[in-house]
Amino acid sequence: MRIDLFELERSQSIWENTVEYNLTESGLHPFTMRELLDPHEIEALVDLPLGYGHTEGEPALREAIAARYPGAGADNVLVTTGSSEANMLAVMSLLDNGDEAIIITPNFMQLPGLAKALGAKVHQVPLRLSGSRWMLDLDEVARAITPNTRLISVCNPNNPTGGVLSADERSGLALLATRHGIALHADEIYRGAELAGPETETLFAAAPAGVITGGTAKAMALAGLRIGWIVSSKDIIEKAMQRQDYTTIGSNALGQRIALFALQPEKRARIVARNRRLLARNLDQLSRWVAVRSAIFSWVPPQAGAMAFLRYDLPVSSDDFCRRLRETQSVFAVAGSWFGMEGHLRLGIGGEPDHFRDALQRIDRFLQDEFATA
């Protein structure tokens, strides 16, 4: 099978554990089991049988996930190995060779890469920066629809911009999908990592064929559990289950049980509150940093997700910027070109504030050394 190089993931896998400051992470600083779990929960894990269990996900976990999507029940949920598997199963369930998919970009490049690998034709419809937000042009989406379009896919809250669709954009997308009988996929893995205000509304019930993917990696700061999910209609869940029989059979029992603990409302509220504190502190540091470097950087601060997307004005490609920054300062950032957005950088803002401050100082040193500016 021919498949595009997934530059972001490949680069992270190669470099993220070799640097002093990894700013490529878009999720929050991970919890340890000791920080997250009570002694009796840890005790329960020690006695957990490590069999296959329920390959579609433990019933209690499916229920706890469904509770986060108004209108969904446990039957609308399939538990997966990370939300990457959820995305993969969604694409495998919705697209065939020769179909067309509309991908709202920028987006996690897994979606277009997989769609193309399956033989689908991909139309990208870009979010555009307008004033202080990233806007979706619904007319442009409508124009991209053909009789072969089977899927519209969006990442909301968005990676890498941290923007969130407005209520009108959400309902407009859902209307288009419904009117044309197209599945509407929303990767909502950053839902719950809002910097302020209410949680982003899910697109689950917005369209009859709404397909939501999510997981514990980002907003719940538990990437190592490798737990994700699809929430959709029962027939799409059934298709995804049949495809999961070929991918991983089911997700890991330990990760599922810890995810179940983490999703209990009290514990989840504690996770979200801690995350908001971290994000607020780092966003504040970054805002002050960008403000005094406005000759180089411009941005729209993120609404959700532990990342900031900066535009820069320097005579260097984003790939070279990130490579040199990594080689000379041991700071690893995401090149905009890995999202098809040259002239941009994505910086993770979900780490420990002192560590983040030090990383910004290293970037200053880099700007001074390479461009005589900081």
List of residues contacting ligand PLP (CB under 6 A): 26, 82-84, 87, 108, 155, 159, 187, 189, 215, 217, 223, 228
Q: At closest approach, how far in Å is the CB of 159 from ligand PLP?
A: 4
Q: Residue 258 or residue 367: which is nearer to ligand PLP going by CB?
A: 258
Q: At closest approach, how far in Å is the CB of 86 from ligand PLP?
A: 8
Q: Residue 141 or residue 155: which is nearer to ligand PLP going by CB?
A: 155
Measure CA of the first residue to CA of the last residue in the chain; give whole Å.
Answer: 46
Helix or strand holding residue 190 (H, E)? none
User: How far is CA 344 from each of CA 120, 127, 288, 320, rounded to the nearest angstrom?
Assistant: 28, 15, 19, 12
Q: Residue 8 or residue 286: which is nearer to ligand PLP going by CB?
A: 8
Amino acid (one-letter) located at 284 = D
Beta bridge partners of 307: 348
Q: Residue 174 or residue 186: which is nearer to ligand PLP going by CB?
A: 186
Contact between residue 21 and residue 330 where contact means Cβ atoms under 8 Å apart: yes
Q: At closest approach, how far in Å is the CB of 98 from ligand PLP?
A: 26
Amino acid (one-letter) located at 138 = L
Kindly report the number of other CB atoms within 10 A of residue 206's CB atom: 18
Q: At closest approach, how far in Å is the CB of 258 from ligand PLP?
A: 14
Q: Residue 79 or residue 290: which is nearer to ligand PLP going by CB?
A: 79
Q: At closest approach, how far in Å is the CB of 12 from ligand PLP?
A: 8
Reported for 128-131, long-range contacts at CB under 8 A and 24+ positions apart, including other chains, are 129/300
Contact between residue 103 and residue 111 where contact means Cβ atoms under 8 Å apart: yes
Q: At closest approach, how far in Å is the CB of 328 from ligand PLP?
A: 26
Point out the residue whose Cβ comes nearest to ligand PLP: 82
**Which is nearest to 57 in space by CA: 351, 253, 348, 309?**
253
| Burial environment of residue 175 by CB neighbours within 10 A (0 to 12, 13 to 18, 19 or more) | middle
Q: Residue 172 or residue 228: which is nearer to ligand PLP going by CB?
A: 228
Q: At closest approach, how far in Å is the CB of 9 from ligand PLP?
A: 8
Beta strands in 232-342 (DSSP E): 297-299, 307-312, 331-332, 334-335
Reported as half-sphere exposure (CB side, CA atoms, 13 A), residue 204 has a value of: 26
Q: Residue 224 or residue 301: which is nearer to ligand PLP going by CB?
A: 224
Q: At closest approach, how far in Å is the CB of 255 from ligand PLP?
A: 11
Q: Residue 100 or residue 187: which is nearer to ligand PLP going by CB?
A: 187
